[in-house]
């Protein structure tokens, strides 16, 4: 939805005024649009245009190597003949003017009238109409112009920049249009400034195949497709419409229509590129981004320009405009990574062999992690429900992802490694997969625990384990920056460590000491219901969560209880 405007009726003029202020050092405003400055050598002037609402079409493409002027109409409305005339006249450098635009009735008429007027004044004026939209008509000359505008403009802009004459630039423009095909899909309609309702809609869960950039009817509505199938549809349909005798190289544009974001286009490109290559095509300097948009319309289009030896260098040529910049110079070819770098990047940490005690500890770690995985899996949804009161409800899911990754990593390790090393591996895997804050805390804490235990000891007395657990807790305190009473996992963990240290200090064996401390932890986790979170929560959420235990403290209680049960049967 278009949200920023003053008087909706003045949207096109107002946005142009801002554009001209922004790029005052590059383009000059004239009645009806913008022109670029003239260089030392006069060029044939390529003047493009059409309605507003399609940025960077049209004024975003004015500059060295591309258009010399752009005529700016109202939103989705052809500029008037007087506007086209004015911009054409201002852009002319004495070598003639080529008007180029998409094939829409209003544009054809208005640019046609303007061309007549310019010719009447002795300015040689030609017209190159873009007709790339394969969905809009069977007959090529009846097709509408969409993102193929860009390939045609670029071919002519590059030809003009080389100093070619108007006959040549016009011929190359027509050749570029004849070599260009586009198919678009729309996911949602666009809304005109000041309107509450979209100009048109696409049925929910569907895409409009071939829908025009002003909402012109397409071929048909299709159920929404996964990216892979959408890519196949676009590639296959465009290729099916290839010009006769087309060469194998293709300049390629995967164009976003407005609200379809770059990351979505990259994701789609992941499927488009291999499918084009499978079709035997060589992709030349592809562009993935917004080149011809349609306000806030959701959708995208695929454009191919089949490149012969004439069009190829024009497509590759440099350009520098507000919205499109390309320079061959700054791109040193990518150096291959050296063998050393490759080895570094792929280095697998080799597990050190551990002694007797370390291997025994490893066994306990394996059993304990499996027990933790099992208890977290059992309580996943409960943890999620608790978390949803004050957070985003993903605590159970995050914990499960973390512990599952940790047990998988531990399973992959051979049986000669030690428990200290295993805990470090488990921590790394946990942090990597669980994501979020609790993931990194659990991961780093397990790593610190494992580092403290090490694999070279002759034995792991209860005091060593308790000190390791203290290390576990300190890591979380340091990384997370929370204090006891902040309604975090520390509210269960710190009482647990304190009690464990006290019991072990008093001479208790590890297993009963751990089990006793786990009871304290669980009890304290329940008490977090009375607390008010102080960190990382907006106030309304803080209010809401009073009376609910903290999900992190709850899961901490579950974990230490599960480990306690393992230690009773499998002392380390």
d(CA 422, CA 69): 66
Quick count: other Cβ atoms within 10 Å of Cβ 549? 22
CA distances from 485 to 4, 130, 516, 529 (A): 45, 68, 22, 11
Is 58 a binding residue for its own copies by CB under 8 A? The answer is no
Q: Of 173-181, 268-276, 415-423, 487-495, which part binds its own copies (CB under 8 A)?
A: 268-276
Query: Which parts of 192-231 interact with its own copies (CB under 8 A)?
Result: 207, 216-217, 224, 226-228, 230
* Three-state DSSP class for residue 480: helix
Applying CB under 8 A, among 41, 538, 547, 569 the residue interacting with its own copies is 538
Q: Of 42-50, 95-103, 255-263, 523-531, which part binds its own copies (CB under 8 A)?
A: 255-263
Applying CB under 8 A, among 34, 47, 81, 235 the residue interacting with its own copies is 81
Query: Which parts of 331-360 interact with its own copies (CB under 8 A)?
Result: 331-335, 337, 341, 344-345
Is 262 a binding residue for its own copies by CB under 8 A? The answer is yes
Q: Which of 54, 68, 214, 452 is catalytic?
A: 214
Helices then strands (H, E): number in the chain?
Answer: 18, 14
Is 258 a binding residue for its own copies by CB under 8 A? The answer is yes
Q: How far is the CB of 463 from its own copies (least distance, A)?
A: 27
Q: How far is the CB of 146 from its own copies (least distance, A)?
A: 16
Applying CB under 8 A, among 100, 125, 180, 428 the residue interacting with its own copies is 428
Is 39 a binding residue for its own copies by CB under 8 A? The answer is yes
DSSP state of 562: H
Is 327 a binding residue for its own copies by CB under 8 A? The answer is yes
Q: How far is the CB of 329 from its own copies (least distance, A)?
A: 8
Label residues 406-428 b or e (16+ Cβ within 10 Å = b).
Answer: bbebbeebeeebbbbbbbbbbbb
Closest CA to 302 of 221, 236, 258, 245: 236
Query: Which parts of 123-182 interact with its own copies (CB under 8 A)?
Result: none
**206 in Cβ contact with 270 (< 8 Å):** no
Applying CB under 8 A, among 34, 123, 234, 268 the residue interacting with its own copies is 268
Q: Give kind and range of the element (H or E) at residue 306.
A: strand 298-307
Is 83 a binding residue for its own copies by CB under 8 A? The answer is yes
Tokens of 100: 């180029």
Q: Choose between 185 and 562: whose C-beta lies nearer to its own copies.
A: 185
Report strand pairing: 249-256 vs 206-209.
unpaired
Is 1 a binding residue for its own copies by CB under 8 A? The answer is yes
Applying CB under 8 A, among 419, 480, 549, 564 the residue interacting with its own copies is 480
d(CA 491, CA 553): 6
d(CA 342, CA 345): 5
d(CA 139, CA 211): 17
Query: Which parts of 12-31 interact with its own copies (CB under 8 A)?
Result: 14-19, 21-22, 24-28, 30-31
Mark whether 214 is an active-site residue. Answer: yes
d(CA 216, CA 253): 21
Q: Exposed, middle or buried by CB within 10 Å (0-12, 13-18, 19+), for 337?
A: exposed
Query: Which parts of 364-423 interact with its own copies (CB under 8 A)?
Result: none
Q: Choose between 217 and 352: whose C-beta lies nearer to its own copies.
A: 217
Q: How far is the CB of 363 from its own copies (least distance, A)?
A: 26
Q: Choose between 48 and 81: whose C-beta lies nearer to its own copies.
A: 81
Number of residues near its own copies (by CB under 8 A) = 117
**144 in Cβ contact with 106 (< 8 Å):** no
Is 502 a binding residue for its own copies by CB under 8 A? The answer is no
Applying CB under 8 A, among 286, 393, 512, 526 the residue interacting with its own copies is 286
Query: Which parts of 292-321 interact with its own copies (CB under 8 A)?
Result: 293, 295-296, 298, 300, 318, 320
* Three-state DSSP class for residue 100: strand
Applying CB under 8 A, among 220, 325, 381, 411 the residue interacting with its own copies is 325
Start-to-end CA distance of the chain, whole Å, equals: 63
Cite the active site residues: 214
């Amino acid at each position: 939805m278009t949200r920023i405007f003053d008087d909706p009726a003045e949207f096109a003029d107002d946005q142009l005024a801002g554009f001209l202020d922004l790029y005052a050092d590059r383009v000059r405003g004239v009645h009806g649009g913008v022109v670029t400055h003239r260089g030392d050598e006069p060029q044939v002037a390529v003047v493009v245009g059409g309605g507003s609402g399609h940025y960077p079409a049209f004024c975003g493409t004015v500059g060295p190597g591309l258009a010399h002027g752009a005529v700016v109409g109202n939103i989705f409305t052809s500029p008037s003949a007087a506007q086209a005339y004015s911009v054409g006249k201002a852009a002319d450098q004495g070598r003639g003017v080529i008007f180029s635009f998409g094939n829409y009735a209003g544009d054809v008429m208005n640019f046609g009238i303007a061309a007549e007027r310019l010719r009447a004044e002795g300015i040689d004026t030609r017209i190159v109409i873009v007709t790339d939209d394969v969905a809009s008509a069977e007959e090529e000359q009846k097709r509408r112009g969409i993102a193929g505008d860009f390939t045609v403009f670029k071919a002519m802009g590059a030809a003009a920049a080389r100093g070619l004459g108007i006959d040549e630039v016009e011929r190359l423009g027509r050749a570029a249009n004849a070599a260009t095909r586009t198919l678009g899909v729309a996911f949602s309609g666009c809304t005109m400034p000041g309107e509450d309702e979209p100009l048109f809609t696409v049925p929910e869960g569907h895409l409009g195949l071939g829908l025009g950039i002003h909402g012109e009817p397409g071929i048909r509505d299709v159920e929404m497709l996964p990216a892979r199938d959408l890519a196949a549809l676009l590639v296959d349909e465009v290729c099916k419409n290839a010009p006769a005798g087309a060469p194998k190289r293709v300049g390629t544009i995967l164009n976003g229509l407005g609200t379809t974001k770059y990351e979505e286009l990259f994701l789609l490109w992941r499927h488009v590129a291999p499918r084009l290559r499978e079709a035997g095509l060589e992709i030349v300097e592809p562009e993935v981004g917004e080149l011809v948009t349609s306000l806030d319309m959701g959708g995208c289009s695929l454009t191919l320009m089949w490149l012969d030896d004439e069009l190829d260098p024009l497509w590759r040529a440099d350009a520098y405009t507000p919205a499109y910049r390309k320079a061959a110079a700054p791109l040193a070819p990518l150096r291959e990574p050296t063998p050393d770098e490759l080895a570094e990047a792929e280095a697998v940490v080799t597990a050190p062999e551990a002694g007797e005690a370390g291997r025994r500890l490893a066994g306990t770690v394996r059993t304990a992690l499996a027990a933790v995985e099992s208890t977290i899996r059992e309580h996943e949804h409960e943890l999620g429900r608790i978390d949803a009161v004050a957070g985003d409800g993903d605590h159970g899911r995050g914990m499960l992802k973390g512990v599952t990754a940790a047990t998988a990593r531990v399973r992959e390790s051979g049986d000669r490694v030690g428990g200290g090393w295993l805990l470090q591996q488990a921590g790394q895997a946990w942090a990597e997969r669980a994501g979020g804050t609790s993931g990194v805390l659990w991961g780093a804490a397990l790593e610190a625990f494992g580092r403290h235990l090490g694999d070279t000891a002759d034995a792991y007395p209860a005091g060593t384990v308790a000190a390791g657990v203290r290390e576990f807790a300190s890591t979380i305190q340091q990384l997370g920056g929370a204090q006891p009473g902040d309604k975090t996992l520390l509210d269960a963990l710190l009482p647990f460590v304190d009690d464990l240290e006290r019991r072990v200090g008093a001479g208790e064996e590890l297993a009963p000491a751990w089990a006793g401390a786990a009871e304290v932890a669980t009890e304290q986790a329940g008490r977090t219901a009375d607390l008010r979170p102080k960190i990382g929560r907006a106030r309304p959420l803080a209010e809401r969560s009073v009376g609910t235990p903290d999900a992190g403290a709850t899961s901490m209680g579950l974990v230490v209880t599960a480990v306690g049960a393992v230690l009773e049967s499998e002392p380390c």
